[in-house]
Amino acid sequence: MTIKSLALASALALLPAAAQAAEPTAADAKAFVADAEAQLSAYSDKAQRVFWVNATYITDDTDAMAADAGAEGTLLQVKLAKEAAKFNTVTGLDADTARKLFLLRQAIVLPAPDAPGAAKELAEIATRLQSTYGKGKGTARGKDVVGNDLEALMGTERDPKVLQEMWESWHAVGKPMAGDYARLVEIANAGAKELGFADTGAMWRAGYDMPAADFEKLIDRLLAEVQPLYTDLHCYTRTKLNEKYGDAVQAKTGPIRADLLGNMWAQEWASIYDVVAPKGAGDVGYDIGELLVSKQMGPIEMVKAGENFYSSLGFAPLPATFWTRSQFTKPADREVVCHASAWDIDNKDDLRIKMCIKVNSTDFVTIHHELGHNYYQRAYNKQSLLYLNSANDGFHEAIGDFAALNVTPEYLVKVGLLDQAKVPDASRDIGLLLRQAMEKVPGMPWTALVDKWRWGVFSGATKPADYNKAWTDLRLKYQGIVPPVPRPADAFDPGAKYHIPGNTPYARYFLARILQFQFYEAACKQAGWKGPLHRCSIYGDKAVGTRLNAMLEMGMSKPWPEALKAFTGSDQMSGKSMLAYFAPLHTWLKQQNKGQKCGW
């Protein structure tokens, strides 16, 4: 995840006189954009530092500081968005000015209305929701456990009673958020309507270089394209869980119990690979976590390994300040937000990551992902302020995921983690693909439903009293999973997922699941890779790195189809690359599922 607050100078800053003219001209629009970017740039450094301190040192004081900074930002973002809308009918705009006006109208995630105190209240609620999450704890065998540690335990615990306890106790974290969340929706919707949108969800969907309705159709088309692969993986996994736990815990047919899948939200299932691994071919011969331990690699060494991947492609090393200012591990003396994120504090070279790194496979891959954000941020740092972002938000997430796909056996050999003699041969390909599929494929329906839930909430189709029921229903419809216990009417399970109280739009992660495989297949073709796609690693290929950097440098200066075409040769998103990557596995899954009643 990347933290990018579009920055603002002062909520009371005056707009240029030209922007207030009764009949604005193209020259007025250009002057307004220049002034808006100056204001955003002036605010950015201060606000980012405040938000960093709040995320890495949660106290009542830093909460208050973050709320004030957020309110200041919200006020000016809304003000600039409304001023930008006044140029909607101006003719003769150059392409650059027209795009920047559009981005100003789309920039804010939670718009506040002009009503006195609304921006402050919205910022206070947003800060309170995130802090409630950050301070949250669950239990395991009766002992209090912080969220980050509980997430890790979900991947290793196999006692269904303990899994149920952890799942249920953590999801209780969301319950106190329900009232605040409903009020946040109310305020943000009022702000979105003042900007000319039906609701906040419609505003979010409009930010993808296409009409909001077309974006919904794109999500549905891509999901339908890859859903058959997910359905067969679900069917196979359910059978294995039934064999392990029996009918009383996991039935042979129907949905899967959510807490059995090795992840608090069942968004990735790689942690239960040991449960589903096929006999013989299932043993792929190595575990990244065990390799890290054997090489005595700690959190810093893991990050250095991630940096080395990008250096091998020709990217410059991370700045010295990255190593002194980042949060790599959880401090023992204070509350922090452990959810991994990448930061660009000054829009230049003050790059940081915020993690609570554990020496395991998941965090090794996550590091490659988060650093992808940092290298993207630095690549486009010469763009003007409104272009300091990825082509669309899915690109930002996809770059890191694409890098992580390169963590193959061949890559591990090249970086000295795996001995050549232990590289699994072709007979292990099903195991390699299955383990990768358990990590990647379940995220497809999950990443689609999170924002589908919010779109319904923002539109009013889902009322506050039905928040939790709608969430559970969507999870059943798209993921084929159910809670391990009946949920009380006043539960707020969405609050147990950081991106809901953190107000981070989630469609980006869905797009990233698609785009990462498109980037990967294109890169492997450029590198001249001839073997199975899932074995490819572009590590050390500076020519591919040069072409990749050319796309990254574009930032948000061009519509995303142009950026996509610059690297892949196509301007269309497609699930075909993902399907090509997993094609041998999908054939095998269908064979394994013969005689099973797949679906739910």
586 is catalytic: no
Burial environment of residue 587 by CB neighbours within 10 A (0 to 12, 13 to 18, 19 or more): exposed
HEC string of 266-318 equals CCCCHHHHHHHCCCCCCCCCCCHHHHHHHCCCCHHHHHHHHHHHHHHCCCCCC
Q: Between the CA atoms of 36, 39, 41 and 44, what dihedral angle is there, to the nearest 10 degrees?
A: -120
Determine the Cα–Cα distance for residues 458 and 452; give it in Å rounded to an integer. 10
Q: Is 370 a catalytic residue?
A: yes
Does residue 66 contact residue 50 with C-beta atoms inside 8 Å?
yes
- DSSP sequence for 429-458: HHHHHHHHHHHHTTHHHHHHHHHHHHHHHH
Q: Which two tokens stand for residue 256?
A: 């899967």
Q: Which amino acid is at 108?
A: I
Report yes or no: 125 and 184 within 8 Å, Cβ to Cβ.
Answer: yes
Residue 427, Cβ neighbours under 10 Å: how many?
A: 9
* Active-site annotation holds for 396: no
Q: Which residues contact 237 (CB under 8 A, 6 or more apart)?
A: 256, 261, 269, 272, 276, 438
- CA angle at 123 for the pair 120 and 126, rounded to the nearest 5°: 150
Q: Residue 137: in which H helix or E strand, if any?
A: strand 137-140
Q: Per the structure block, which two tokens stand in for 127?
A: 């800060």
Q: Which of 171, 368, 499, 586 is catalytic?
A: 499
Which of the residues 157, 268, 307, 370 is marked catalytic? 370
Question: Is 373 a known active-site residue?
Answer: yes
Strands 481-482 and 256-257: parallel
Both tokens of 343, joined, read 């930061």
Exactly one of 55, 118, 140, 340 is catalytic; name it. Answer: 340
Q: Which of 509, 520, 539, 581 is catalytic?
A: 509
Catalytic, out of 369, 396, 534, 586: 369
Radius of gyration of the chain (CA): 24
Please state, in angstroms and rounded to a whole number, the distance separating the CA atoms of residues 146 and 136: 6
Residues 6+ apart with CB under 8 A from 287: 361
Alpha helices in 333-416 (DSSP H): 361-379, 393-405, 409-414
Rounded to 5 degrees, what are φ and ψ at 341?
Answer: -155, 160
Q: Which amino acid type is present at position 552?
A: L
Q: Residue 452 and residue 441: Cα distance in Å, rounded?
A: 18
Confirm whether 369 is a catalytic residue.
yes
- Residue 340 falls in the annotated catalytic set: yes
Give the number of C-alpha atoms closer than 13 A to the C-alpha of residue 471, restricted to the C-beta side: 25
Q: Which residues, in sequence order, are CB contacts of 277 under 8 Å at separation 6+?
A: 283, 431, 434, 435
499 is catalytic: yes
For the question of residue 121 being annotated catalytic, the response is no
What is the four-CA torsion angle of 37, 38, 43, 49, rounded to 10 degrees?
80
CA distance 569 to 572: 9
As a dihedral over the C-alpha atoms of residue 408, residue 357, residue 510, residue 197, rounded to 10 degrees, the angle is -160
User: At 77, is the secondary structure helix, strand, or coil?
Assistant: helix
Assigned token pair, 273:
């690979």
The one catalytic residue in 171, 339, 368, 586 is 339
d(CA 485, CA 468): 13
Residue 497, judged by CB atoms within 10 A of its CB (0-12, 13-18, 19+), counts as: buried
Identify the active-site residue in 83, 157, 268, 397.
397
Instruction: List, by residue number, the catalytic residues.
Output: 339-340, 369-370, 373, 397, 499, 509
